[in-house]
Amino acid sequence: MVEYANKDEREVADLHAGQTRLVWYHSLFWKINVFLVSSVVLAYVMGATIGWVMVERDSLEQWRRQAELNAQVTSSAIRSIYTFIAIESGDDGQITKIISERPLGDDASILDTGFNPADVLGLAASQTKNNIWLFQKSSGQQAFTSSAEAFGSSNGLDLSLPDYTNPSHFFVGFADVDKVRHFIAYVPVVNLKGELQGALVTTIGEADALQESQNKLLRNSFVLLLTILILTGAAVTLIMRKVFKPVPALVSALSRIARDDTRSVTPFQNRHDEIGRFAVAIETLREAVVEREHLRQVRDVAKHMEHLAHHDALTGLPNRTFFGKKLEEMIAGMGEGGRRVNIMLLDLDRFKSINDGLGHASGDALLVSFAERLLSLMRPGDIAARFGGDEFAIIQAVRKDSLVEASKLASSIIRSLTRPFMLLGKEVSVGTSIGICTEVAVGSEISELLKKADIALYAAKSEGRGTFRFFKQGMEMSGERGHVLQHDLDAALRNGEFELHYQPIFSVSKLEPVGFEALLRWHHSKLGWVSPADFIPVAEKTGQIVAIGEWVLNKACSDAAKLPPDTFLAVNVSPAQLQQGNFAQKVKSALFTHGLPANRLELELTESVQICSLECREMLAGLRALGIGIALDDFGTGYSGISYLLTLPITKIKIDRSFVMHLQEQAESRTVVANLLQLAKGLGLETTAEGIETEYQLQFVRSVGCTLGQGFHLGRPANIKELQHTYNDFYPRMVSSLGA
């Protein structure tokens, strides 16, 4: 395992993992480092060159001053002994010439002073620490020959001055003494007439020794400068590496953000420099992208919910809400020169027997296929919608004649159904009955228009099905199909024709039943079983649903005592019940009467509820405070579901079966369900997936975090007696077969 010195190094390694590394010579670190090091090298080279020149110049100047000083010291020492000499000096006091009455070092001077020339030169050399020569000029020649030497006794040495020098003038520079190059100070010795007699020569050293000393100094300086240069370059590299170390990690962080990978937090935010500020800016960008993605998901869900609010999830056709809005717009447009419209209502004949006999999957497939055929017959401007169940509606844009065009379209629809449908390998034939309302005028009430079309539809069904009828005045009392159901509903409640069936609700993780939903069933004394899709709308329209709902609530609370005490019971509540001022009191009374704990009751509200007043919200909040659960049923099919999650004390959402049924074949359904579950999780709500009919659907909703499930794959509805037997005997085996 790789060990990291600190957190930043680990973060850098993580950010680089799997990334394509930048070629080193393309990196910003390398370019800036090369620039800085090159600048340092250039500065040192220029400094070294200038220093070299200065050393050369200063060395020569130093030699010159030393030679002049030696000449001064030597001349002074000789003059102190030889009193017969005089000197000539320049403006700066430098002795430039020795004037002697007689030759220096002759026998007379030795007798007068008691010193021979070598001793005198030795005395001067003891102060200069360098050799000194006394040269005599050869008669009639410009050559000089030594007559005395401070160090040694060699005489007769030759002095060779540079060609450009005048032997009669003071000279400082390089000259050869017996073919050995020295740096000397040359002081000419003249007689009283100014004639050159000889010269006093002092040296500061041999040229080779001086040059070697100078070269050594330069070498040492060069080595020192090179060492400093290397150390400086290393220091610059280390500093730049330290400074730019975060850059690749920050670039990787930006690249990840560009790819919408926002999982990793940006490193180096704790630095108190520009890098730290840059890291904070990147982190701010990452958080903004995360927030943007979250908002996008919310917008997508809201957009999809808006679409679902106006479209049928099964067939994709517009729903009743969209149909009503569009019809209202088209009626208003008629007053501004727009086209007239016809309204048609359609019911599939024998649909219930097909749905019950072949199953819901076949019934749904039939509805989808019928919707496709219906759409193929629509002209531009026509709108086909599904109201629910097997009920469809059409807005027909009239071009010339309302009756002729309506008859033509209705006949085409009926004729298209002569071809059977292929459902799960079986041929199925179905017909349709159509009611038509052509009496559409500006200012018409939509509810009245639909009622007239509904009456005409009932007339078509009454006359043998598979046909169409136009609404005519006088059809209200004889043709309104809801009239019979309305009358029989009162009798059904009095005669005990209603009963409750209970469908189990499972924990999808443990595959154990944790609750039951109460489903209302009507066994009509003459018609047999009547579908809730037929009588519930009538009961809601007439207000009979309030009394029926109260009966359901009390019956469910009574039956709950016969169910396991650790299970809850879900009861559907209609919008009309919620508008009753004493609804909360009725719920409390039912709980008290039947001894049911409040936490075992769950009230299911339909998402199609359009208005919930402040009093209604306060009433629901009071029930929730007692421990009663509040579930939002059919979530995703209405237009206001998301707003209810924020305004009502919802504890659970139930995802409509129309989304669950297509999970295996539609990626869109999987996306919607996953997003709805994510939304619920974010709000801390429980979730129930309705309509689970296959193992794939069960496994999928479990994998995306759904907590509860309900459907034929888990358990079918049954009355209380059947349920008790099933719960005690069948469920343990069923759970085992499902892999619990």
Q: Which of the pair, 359 or 703, is modelled with greater confidence?
A: 703
Q: How far apart are CA 655 and CA 248, in angstroms?
A: 46
Is residue 504 scored above 80 in pLDDT? yes
pLDDT digits (tens, 9 = 90+) for 570-613: 999 988 888 888 999 999 999 999 999 999 999 998 755 544 66
pLDDT digits (tens, 9 = 90+) for 269-286: 888 777 788 888 888 888
Q: Mean of the per-residue pLDDT values for the chain?
A: 82
pLDDT-wise least confident of 68-77, 166-175, 297-306, 480-489: 480-489
Q: Which of the pair, 381 or 646, is modelled with greater confidence?
A: 381
Residues 6+ apart with CB under 8 A from 516: 502, 503, 504, 505, 563, 567, 568, 569, 570, 723
553 three-state secondary structure = helix
- DSSP 8-state symbol, 598: G
b/e burial code for range 589-620 (CB count within 10 A of at least 16 → b): ebbeebebebebbbbbbbbbbeebeeebeebb
CA 336 centroid distance within chain: 51
Average pLDDT over residues 449-454: 88
Quickly state the pLDDT bin for 137 (edges 50, 70, 90): confident
pLDDT at 735 (0 to 100): 43
Quickly state the pLDDT bin for 367 (edges 50, 70, 90): very high
pLDDT at 651 (0 to 100): 92
Nearest CA to 361 out of 412, 429, 425 is that of: 425
Which domains does the chain show, CATH number per domain? Answer: 56-215 (3.30.450), 311-479 (3.30.70.270), 484-731 (3.20.20.450)
Q: Which of the pair, 199 or 486, is modelled with greater confidence?
A: 199
Is residue 149 scored above 50 in pLDDT? yes
Is residue 519 scored above 90 in pLDDT? yes
pLDDT digits (tens, 9 = 90+) for 199-213: 999 999 888 888 888
Quickly state the pLDDT bin for 227 (edges 50, 70, 90): confident
pLDDT at 472 (0 to 100): 84
Residues 6+ apart with CB under 8 A from 426: 358, 362
Q: Which residue in this structure is represented by tokens 């659907």? A: 697
pLDDT at 20 (0 to 100): 47
pLDDT at 9 (0 to 100): 52
Residue 664 and residue 696 in contact, taking contact as beta carbons nearer than 8 Å: yes
pLDDT-wise least confident of 135-149, 162-176, 481-495, 704-718: 481-495
pLDDT at 410 (0 to 100): 92
Is residue 264 scored above 60 in pLDDT? yes
Burial of 254: CB neighbours in 10 Å, binned 0-12, 13-18, 19+: middle
Q: Which residue in this structure is represented by tokens 């009283």? A: 192
Quickly state the pLDDT bin for 2 (edges 50, 70, 90): very low
For residue 248, give Cα distances in angstroms to 4, 28, 253, 429. Answer: 17, 9, 9, 69
What are 206-212's contacts with CB under 8 Å, separation 24+? Answer: 206/180, 206/181, 206/182, 207/174, 207/181, 207/182, 207/183, 208/181, 210/59, 210/63, 210/183
pLDDT at 30 (0 to 100): 67
286 three-state secondary structure = helix
pLDDT at 49 (0 to 100): 79
Residue 634 and residue 334 in contact, taking contact as beta carbons nearer than 8 Å: no
pLDDT-wise least confident of 141-150, 284-293, 460-469, 623-632: 460-469
pLDDT at 8 (0 to 100): 54
pLDDT-wise least confident of 21-25, 271-275, 534-538, 580-584: 21-25
pLDDT digits (tens, 9 = 90+) for 296-311: 877 877 777 777 778 8
pLDDT at 690 (0 to 100): 92
Is residue 385 scored above 80 in pLDDT? yes
Average pLDDT over residues 78-107: 85
The listed range with the strongest mean pLDDT (423-432, 439-448, 465-474, 554-563) is 554-563
Quickly state the pLDDT bin for 639 (edges 50, 70, 90): very low
pLDDT at 484 (0 to 100): 63
Q: How far apart are CA 321 and CA 393, in angstroms?
A: 12
pLDDT at 587 (0 to 100): 94
